[in-house]
Amino acid sequence: MAKKLFVKTYGCQMNVYDSERMHGVMAAEGYEPTDRAEEADLILLNTCHIREKAAEKVYSELGRLKPLKEARPDLKIGVAGCVAQAEGEEILRRQPAVDFAVGPQAYHRLPALVANGGVDTEFPLEDKFLRMPAAPRRRAPTAFLTVQEGCDKFCAFCVVPYTRGAEVSRPAARLLGEARALAEQGVREITLLGQNVNAYHGEGPDGGDWTLARLLREIAGIEGIERLRYTTSHPNDMSDDLIAAHGELEKLMPYLHLPVQSGSDRVLKAMNRRHRADDYLALIERIRAARPDIALSGDFIVGFPGETEAEFAQTLALAEAVGYGSAFTFKYSSRPGTPAAGVGEQVPEPVKDERLARLNAVISRDQKAFQTSMVGRRLPVLVEKAGRLDGQMVGKSPWLHAVHFLAPAETAGQVVMVDVVESGPNSLSGRLAA
Ligand code: 5AD
Ligand code: SF4
C-alpha cells in the first residue's frame, strides 16, 4: 500500500508552491497525499518565520502532533520552511518528536532526510526545482510558478534575506517549459512568484539576461494562458519596461501588489527601504498612466520602533492618497537577527493595536468602495469551480474578487462575461452574460 504524506502549509504563496513541489518529490518515493494527519506516514510542516506569531504556531502544532508519534513510532515528522532554516537544530532539541528539519533551499534532498533524519539548511548553488519532479496536479485553472527566490534588499525588519538567502532567478527556458506544461494541463492563469519578483533577471535562452517584463511577454505568448499576475514586488524594482508591460499586455491583470510599509520618510529610512513616500506616490502615478484601470494592493507595518503619532498619520495619509483595492497590515514584530531587532524605542502594544485599527478602517473602507464599484459592470471572470448553491459557479474578476453566478459546470476553466448585480461582504454576485 502506498505511504501517505500530510503537508501543512503556513505563510506566503511561495510556501504553497514549495509544498506542491514537495508532494512531487515524495510522490516519486511512493507517497500519496492525504489531508488527514492521523493517517499519514510522513507529516511535514512548511513553516513561516516572518512574524513572531507565525513562528510560535509551529511549536504548538508540534505539541499537538506528538501523541500521534507516540502511538506510532514509525511516523516521521519533519519541519520545513523558514523556521527550519532559522532554528533547525533548536527545533530538534525542543521537540524530540521531530525527525528532521529542512530549509527552503534543500527540498530536493527530502528523501535522504526522511530516511536518515537530521538538519539540512544548506544553500546549494543548483536550482532545487530542477531536481524536484512536478506533483500530479489537481485540476485547477490557476497555478503558481516560482521564478525567483531570496532577497538582497535587507529591509531592517525582515528575516527573508536570512531564511531564503540571496536573490536567485531561475533560468527563463526552464520557466517557459513549466508554463507550457501548466497550460497543457488546463491552467489558464499563472501567478509568477518571488520574494522580490520584479527584480527577476534570469538567464534567457539566448544567453542574455531576461527581465520580468521580458518573461511576462513570452509567457503571455503561450497558447492557453489567458491571465498573468506576479507577486511580490519592491517599489525600487518597478522598471520602465515592466511599467510599459502593464500597458501593453492585456493578459497581465490590472492588479499590482506593491508594498510600501510606511508613509513616513524617517521611518522608511530607518526601515532601509531606500525610497521616500513621494517616490512611491510618483511611481503609482506612472503605473496608473500606463494602465488606468489598475488597482493597487500593499503591505504596511505599524509600530516600527520609534514610530510617532505624526509619522503614523503620514502612513494613514499615504493609504488615503493611494486608495488601495486591498492591503495587508501588520504590527511590527521584532525578529531575532534582523538589524531592527532590539534597536530604538519599542512602540507599546496597545498603541500598535490602536494604529492597526485606524489603518484597517481606511483600508477596508477603500476596499469595500472598490468592490462596490463593480456593481453594474460586465466583468471577465475566470471560472474556478462549483459554488455552494445548486447550479452556481464561482470565479475571479481581474482584481481577484470572488464572483458567484449561475452557469453550466462546463464553464469551469473558461473566462466568461458576468454582469455584476450585487456586492456582498466578501464577494460579488452576478449573471452570466448572453
Ligand atoms: N514585523 C511585521 N511585519 C513584517 N513583515 C515583514 N517583516 C515583518 C516584521 N518583522 C511584513 C511586511 C512584508 C510582509 C510580507 O510582511 O509588510 O511586506
Ligand atoms: Fe523582506 Fe521584502 Fe524587504 Fe526583501 S524587500 S527584505 S523580502 S520586506
Question: Per the annotation, does 12 bind a ligand?
Answer: yes
**Four-CA torsion 295, 186, 195, 174, nearest 10 degrees:** -130
Q: How many domains does the chain have?
A: 3
295 and 180 belong to one structural domain = yes
Residue 137 has pLDDT above 80, yes or no: no
Question: Per the annotation, does 411 bind a ligand?
Answer: no
For a pLDDT cut of 90, what percent of the chain falls above it? 94
Q: Which of 120, 146, 164 is the last residue of a domain?
A: 120
pLDDT value of residue 342:
86
79 and 93 belong to one structural domain = yes
- Tell which atom from ligand 2 comes closest to the C-alpha of 158: 1
242 and 166 belong to one structural domain = yes
pLDDT value of residue 14:
95
What are residue 255's phi and psi, to 5 degrees?
A: -145, 120
148 and 105 belong to one structural domain = no
pLDDT value of residue 397:
98
Question: Per the annotation, does 339 bind a ligand?
Answer: no
207 and 335 belong to one structural domain = yes
How many other C-beta atoms are found inside a 10 Å radius of the C-beta of residue 264?
Answer: 23
Residue 125 has pLDDT above 80, yes or no: no
Average of per-residue pLDDT across 97-120: 97
Residue 126 has pLDDT above 90, yes or no: no
382 and 367 belong to one structural domain = no
CB 218 within 8 A of CB 183: no
Residue 178 has pLDDT above 90, yes or no: yes
pLDDT value of residue 1:
78
pLDDT value of residue 206:
87
pLDDT value of residue 43:
98
Decide: residue 60, CB within 10 A, 0-12 exposed, 13-18 middle, 19+ buried.
exposed
CB 189 within 8 A of CB 141: yes
Q: What is the pLDDT of residues 276-322, one digit of tens each?
A: 999 999 999 999 999 999 999 999 999 999 999 999 999 999 999 99
391 and 307 belong to one structural domain = no
241 and 320 belong to one structural domain = yes
298: Cβ below 6 Å to ligand 2?
Answer: no
Please give the residue that has the higher pLDDT: either 197 or 138.
Answer: 197
230 and 342 belong to one structural domain = yes
168 and 154 belong to one structural domain = yes
3-state secondary structure of 421: strand
Q: What is the pLDDT of residues 337-389, one digit of tens each?
A: 999 998 999 999 999 999 999 999 999 999 999 999 999 999 999 999 999 99
pTM here is: 0.96
pLDDT value of residue 75:
97
pLDDT value of residue 133:
87
Residue 248 has pLDDT above 90, yes or no: yes
pLDDT value of residue 180:
98
222: Cβ below 6 Å to ligand 2?
Answer: no
Q: Which of 59, 89, 120 is the last residue of a domain?
A: 120
- Distance separating the N- and C-terminal Cα atoms of the chain: 50
CB 268 within 8 A of CB 239: no
CB 231 within 8 A of CB 200: no
Average of per-residue pLDDT across 23-28: 95
Work out the angle at residue 173's Cα, subtended by the Cα atoms of residues 168 and 175, and round it to the nearest 5 degrees: 65
3-state secondary structure of 32: strand
pLDDT value of residue 127:
83
3-state secondary structure of 203: strand
135 and 282 belong to one structural domain = yes
258: Cβ below 6 Å to ligand 1?
Answer: no
330: Cβ below 6 Å to ligand 1?
Answer: yes
Confidence of residue 136 (pLDDT cuts 50, 70, 90): confident
What are residue 171's phi and psi, to 5 degrees?
A: -60, 140
For a pLDDT cut of 70, what percent of the chain falls above it? 100
pLDDT value of residue 37:
96
> Rounded to an integer, what distance in angstroms lies between the CA atom of residue 246 and that of residue 291?
6
Pocket test for ligand 2, best of 149, 157, 195 (most atoms within 8 A of CB): 195
Name the residue range of residue 22's domain: 3-120
Average of per-residue pLDDT across 159-183: 96
Closest-CA residue to 237 (of 300, 303, 169, 294) = 169
Which 8-state DSSP code applies to residue 252? Answer: B
Grid cell, residue 280, equals: 512611491
Q: Provide the CATH number for the domain around residue 422.
A: 2.40.50
Closest-CA residue to 79 (of 114, 115, 38) = 114
> Rounded to an integer, what distance in angstroms lies between the CA atom of residue 319 and that of residue 314?
9
Q: Which of 351, 372, 393 is the last residue of a domain?
A: 372
Q: Please give the mean pLDDT across all residues of the chain.
A: 96
Q: Provide the CATH number for the domain around residue 278.
A: 3.80.30.20
197 and 262 belong to one structural domain = yes
